[in-house]
Amino acid sequence: MKFPSKNQLQQFLDVLSKKEKFLFSFFLFLFFCSLTFSLYSLYLKKTKIIPDFGGTIVEGTTEPIQTLNPLFISTQPEKDIVQLLLSSLFEIKGEEIFPNLAEKLEILDSGKTFKVKLKEKIFWEDGKEITADDVEFTVSLIQDPEVKSPLRIDWLGVEVEKLSDKEILFKLREPSISFLKNLTLKPLPKHQFERIPRSSFLLATENFFPLSSGPYKIERIKKKDNKIEAISLIRNENYFGEFPKVVKIVFLLFETEKKLKESAKEGIVDTFLSKEKEVIPKFNVFEIYLPRYFALFLNLKSKILKNEKIREAILLSVDKKRILKENFGEIKNVESPFFKKSEFNFNFDLESAEKILEEAGFVKTEKGFREKKAQEKIFEFKRNLKMGDKGEDVKKLQECLSSFEEIYPSKEISGFFGLETKRAVILFQEKFKDEILTPFGLEKGNGEVKEKTREKLNQVCFQEEKENLPLKVSLVTVKDKIAEKTAQIIKENLEKIGFQVDLKIFEGEKIKDVLQKKDYDLLIFGQMYDKILDPFPFWHSFEAEEILNLSNLEDEKIDELLIEQRKVFDPQKRKEILENFEKELFQKKCVYFLYNIPVFYHLSEKIKGFSTENLKALEERFSEIEKWFIKEKRVF
């Protein structure tokens, strides 16, 4: 078939009337439109959109950047940049550990030895290979007191042995599952840092320009008046992992959060973190929940709170539903930080709380507050007691022993001195052995109540109350909108059942001293777990005098469970141990877990591929930066 020539087409058009020419042109136009649409539809059907390389992200922050050495970082932007610059040996996602620079992990000697094998052909940005020498060198820096790394405490007592260029051993004195967190170590390049004197390591210029092993490397640092204003990162061509799509990431520092948010609205900033949700056009907002909780802690060394009944009444007066509703408008509940499904919950019941206080001897005064009247006659142990004895003084002995749950858990008040009572007396004698046993050169109790045991029983359980005891507690929290609102609700309900509540609110820095001295009866505060769930630092007796054990909890059974869970690497067995720990903790009535607060991450709509899944630290939002993209393209 031959297509008409130009001359023939012209003759064809000449014979057409004006109306016919218009109709011909119109239908010809429709034909080409239809053809174009069909071809475009076919193109769309046969192709798909995939992420493409290109684009720049600007991250805004108000926190300072003073170092980029992972041994010293503390502020969030420092952690964020290091996350992009340096790769870790392993990554922890959820409850599992995944290799990164490392290829393989072997746990030996029942959890006291960890053997790590590095991947082959992994390089620093300058082309030199990453080896076990870099890992060994980095740990030696952390462990050296002259270097003054905050990480040193996590590496005390750890021996490091290089087996080959790609294999290294870590040896512990005792098995510890929490050491897996240490294996998220980000090694430093030995050839860059080894010549720096240890005594001046913190001030070294190299701390701002570590050679990269991660997806990005330093391009430029902009300073003004010796303060960092911006840091730009570009892709590391020698990165061993998947190449990131985003070409450049810039960290831009602002003096105030207000200026940062204004820059986001103007399109200068693409991403930023905030404690509060901000509505900005063309921005998406993601809630990031970290492994932390905010709770009401009851100080077990407080005079008024030594009485378990008082603690129970306090916990029953906490209206958790109201706290959640008035603070959040929707449920952000934390029943337990250990498990998603838990029975760690106290039912709100003011009537039962008041009944408990009445039974404990606290009666309301004319002002509506409760107090315990001074007793005119105080009981006193006057005779020796042994197994087989009966009577009122045996009942008093059992009442006294029942105030120590770890000594006399059954709390049976029978008036008969049986085998269970004898065992409890032995535990009591050994608990206070310095006053009861040591004067006689003894180590073990005998279960008989004689002079020294009687003296301690009288001192501990039947100390004379010469004055009325007011039902008064101090309630401490940090200056924070949600914490203050929570404190007001708790205070209001405690006052309804007859408590006098002295509410004290402290600024962030000032509350540290209060926590150190444990100068409170009740405390509303937050705690955060590390990458490996390990309750030991927060609840073991060794930590009772430290800042983390906020309830001043000391309990032998809980201590045993906390030590045991550190030694177990089987997930199911460890879960069972932690469940038993949780049950024991619940029985102590020393804490009420309340809520968790998210951090809000604001991202420009142009950025795609971000996920909040399995984040245990804010900097981990960059752990899958290779999935982020701005540009797109179609491929067949």
Under 8 Å between Cβ of 424 and 401 = yes
Q: Which residues contact 160 (CB under 8 A, 6 or more apart)?
A: 135, 136, 139, 140, 168, 169, 170, 171
Joined together, the tokens standing for residue 365 give 């005064």
Under 8 Å between Cβ of 425 and 447 = yes
The pLDDT, as a whole number, for residue 458 is 84
Label residue 161 by pLDDT band (50, 70, 90): very high
Q: Which residues contact 320 (CB under 8 A, 6 or more apart)?
A: 333, 345, 348, 592, 594
Residue with the larger pLDDT of the pair 633 and 469? 469
Homologous superfamily of domain range 292-371+471-595: Dipeptide-binding Protein; Domain 3 (3.10.105.10)
Element (H, E) at 43: helix 18-46
Label residue 287 by pLDDT band (50, 70, 90): very high
Under 8 Å between Cβ of 148 and 495 = no
pLDDT in tens, 564-584: 999 999 989 999 999 999 999
Q: Angle of helix 419-431 relative to helix 451-461, nearest 10 degrees? A: 80
Q: Angle of helix 556-567 relative to helix 571-588, nearest 10 degrees? A: 160
* 88 conformational bin, left if phi > 0, alpha if psi -120 to 50, beta if neither: beta
With a pLDDT cut of 90, the percent of the chain lying above it is: 65
CA angle 321, 327, 329 (to 5 degrees): 75
Parallel/antiparallel/unpaired status of strands 56-61 and 271-274? parallel
Instruction: At 226, give phi and psi (nearest 5°).
Output: 65, 15
Q: Worst-scoring range by mean pLDDT, 114-123, 208-217, 344-353?
A: 344-353
Label residue 41 by pLDDT band (50, 70, 90): confident
Average pLDDT over residues 280-303: 93
CA angle 118, 124, 127 (to 5 degrees): 110
With a pLDDT cut of 70, the percent of the chain lying above it is: 93
Average pLDDT over residues 135-164: 96
Alpha-carbon span 318 to 136, nearest angstrom: 51
Q: Does domain 87-213 have CATH number 3.40.30.10?
A: no
Label residue 466 by pLDDT band (50, 70, 90): low
The pLDDT, as a whole number, for residue 462 is 72
Joined together, the tokens standing for residue 577 give 């141990």
Residue with the larger pLDDT of the pair 550 and 460? 550
The pLDDT, as a whole number, for residue 379 is 77
Label residue 361 by pLDDT band (50, 70, 90): confident
Average pLDDT over residues 515-525: 93
Q: Where would I find the beta strands (DSSP E) of 208-276?
A: 216-224, 227-235, 248-253, 271-274
Q: Is residue 598 helix, strand or coil?
A: coil
453 to each of 408, 432, 435, 461, 532, how far by Cα in Å? 16, 9, 8, 12, 44
The pLDDT, as a whole number, for residue 332 is 63
Joined together, the tokens standing for residue 597 give 């607060």
Label residue 377 by pLDDT band (50, 70, 90): low
Alpha-carbon span 188 to 185, nearest angstrom: 9
For 137-168, give the DSSP string: HHHHHHH-TTT--TTHHHHTT-EEEE-SSSEE
Q: What is the largest CA-CA distance in the chain?
A: 136
Q: Worst-scoring range by mean pLDDT, 285-299, 350-364, 483-497, 506-520?
A: 506-520
The pLDDT, as a whole number, for residue 330 is 67
The pLDDT, as a whole number, for residue 468 is 79
Question: Edge to edge, what strands does the sheet with 469-470 contain?
Answer: 362-364, 370-372, 469-470
Residue with the larger pLDDT of the pair 95 and 356? 356
pLDDT in tens, 379-393: 788 889 999 999 889
What mean pLDDT, rounded, does the chain reach? 90
Element (H, E) at 106: strand 102-108
DSSP class of 269: -
Label residue 7 by pLDDT band (50, 70, 90): confident
Average pLDDT over residues 224-228: 90
Under 8 Å between Cβ of 597 and 277 = no
Name the burial class of residue 35, with classes exposed (0-12), middle (13-18) and buried (19+) by CB atoms within 10 angstroms of its CB.
exposed
pTM above 0.85, yes or no: no
Alpha-carbon span 634 to 636, nearest angstrom: 7
Label residue 507 by pLDDT band (50, 70, 90): confident
Joined together, the tokens standing for residue 376 give 């005119």
Joined together, the tokens standing for residue 563 give 């030590």
Element (H, E) at 506: strand 500-506
CA angle 330, 334, 335 (to 5 degrees): 125
Cα pseudo-dihedral 576, 577, 581, 584, rounded to 10: 70
Q: Residue ranges of the alpha helices (H) in 271-307?
A: none
Of the candidates 318, 322, 323, 301, which has an alpha carbon nearest to the alpha carbon of residue 353? 318
Under 8 Å between Cβ of 548 and 542 = no
The pLDDT, as a whole number, for residue 27 is 77
Alpha-carbon span 603 to 609, nearest angstrom: 11
Cα pseudo-dihedral 478, 484, 490, 496, rounded to 10: 120
Label residue 448 by pLDDT band (50, 70, 90): very high
If you count them, how many residues does the chain have? 636
The pLDDT, as a whole number, for residue 519 is 92
Q: Is residue 201 helix, strand or coil?
A: helix
CA angle 48, 49, 53 (to 5 degrees): 135
The pLDDT, as a whole number, for residue 23 is 77
Q: Rg of the chain's alpha carbons, rounded to an integer?
A: 34
Residue with the larger pLDDT of the pair 25 and 497? 497
**In this structure, which amino acid lies at residue 213?**
S
